[in-house]
A = this chain, B = another copy of it.
Amino acid sequence: MSRIVTVAAAQMGPTQRADSRAHTLGRLVRLLEEAAARGATLVVFPELAFTTFFPRWLLDGNDLDRYFERAMPNPAVQPLFDRARELGVGFNIGYAELTPSGERFNSSILVQPDGSILGRYRKVHLPGSVEPRDGARFQQLEKRYFSYGDTGFPAFRAGEAWSGAIMGLMICNDRRWPEAWRVLGLQGVELVCVGYNSAAYDPNGGTTEDAALRTFHSTLVAQANAYMNATWAVAVAKAGNEDGSGLIGGSCIVDPDGRIVAQTETLGDEVVVAACDLDRCRQGKDKMFNFGQHRQPAQYGPITERAGVIEPPHPAPSAAA
């Protein structure tokens, strides 16, 4: 028996600061409609999909607040939710969350085809810095604008419309951290959705990384972590030139062997679709990556004992000769 979920990666081209919310929502609805027309029942949108990638700017007050959602859904985004239910498709989308108590998170929500909310996730691996970097044309201020996610990496069991898939969410930088994938893998995840906004240059100010290398990195981590956890993965970019700052594309759907089965070719609004048979995860989960049989947690202590590096000691001077 096959358990097939037809998934769309709905890549977005750039969103400028001057773009209206209504304009961007129209783009999202059109991507949703194209995905549905091509048979998808799950549409994965990027991180911070309703706005430009505002953490590149130093902002405060209302200039910052206008990028945040105070509830999800809310009247400004309701048409996307309505159209999805009408079409019988569900979706995953990223947004900036401002809670009633005033906390701010880089968040993501998973909405089933019947409109029910299956899961929420708040980004754990915030990149960048709290303070702006002197002289940088573009900042990366996620550590300034967001609190670290407090949800862990929960997996969610979907309903019949998605074949009872065990699903997990990540946001952007999370995908570079094998710990995030493994915590999902330890819950039997079969389909991981990741939205991202990844600079086409080194966002930390170096000169050694270009768009090609950063697209390679992005694809590589999705492939390898999907394989090592025997899961499907869908990684979706907001791409292109946002107010002079480049974002990579390379949105992809990856099978549990780590092979790319669909990938975007542009830096614009673009949908790619793949039929993902969840039972294809069994080969890995039951054999090579049968965690219960093969993992050795007693040897993994440092992973949870500390955050940073402790190098082995230097030899004593006499021994170094």
Identify which of B127, B166, B177, B291 contacts A312 (C-beta below 8 A): B166
Q: Does A57 sit at the interface, judged by CB under 8 A?
A: no
Known: A182-B179, A206-B283, A216-B258. A297 touches B305 (CB 8 A): yes
Identify which of B152, B156, B187 contacts A299 (C-beta below 8 A): B152
Q: Are B287 and A220 in contact (CB under 8 A)?
A: no
Q: Does A62 sit at the interface, judged by CB under 8 A?
A: no
Q: Does A148 sit at the interface, judged by CB under 8 A?
A: yes
Residues of B within 8 A of A315 (CB): 157, 159
Known: A217-B258, A221-B228, A288-B204. A306 touches B297 (CB 8 A): yes
Q: Are A176 and B292 in contact (CB under 8 A)?
A: no
| Complex Cα spacing A125 to B305, Å | 21
Number of copies: 2
Residues of B within 8 A of A283 (CB): 206, 208-209
Q: Does A137 sit at the interface, judged by CB under 8 A?
A: no
Q: Are B308 and A292 in contact (CB under 8 A)?
A: yes
| Complex Cα spacing A227 to B178, Å | 11
Known: A178-B228, A224-B220, A307-B295. A320 touches B159 (CB 8 A): yes
Chain A residues close to B by CB (< 8 Å): 124-127, 148-149, 152-157, 159-160, 164, 166, 173, 176-183, 185-188, 202, 204, 206, 208-209, 213, 216-217, 220-221, 223-225, 227-228, 257-259, 283, 285, 287-289, 291-297, 299-315, 320
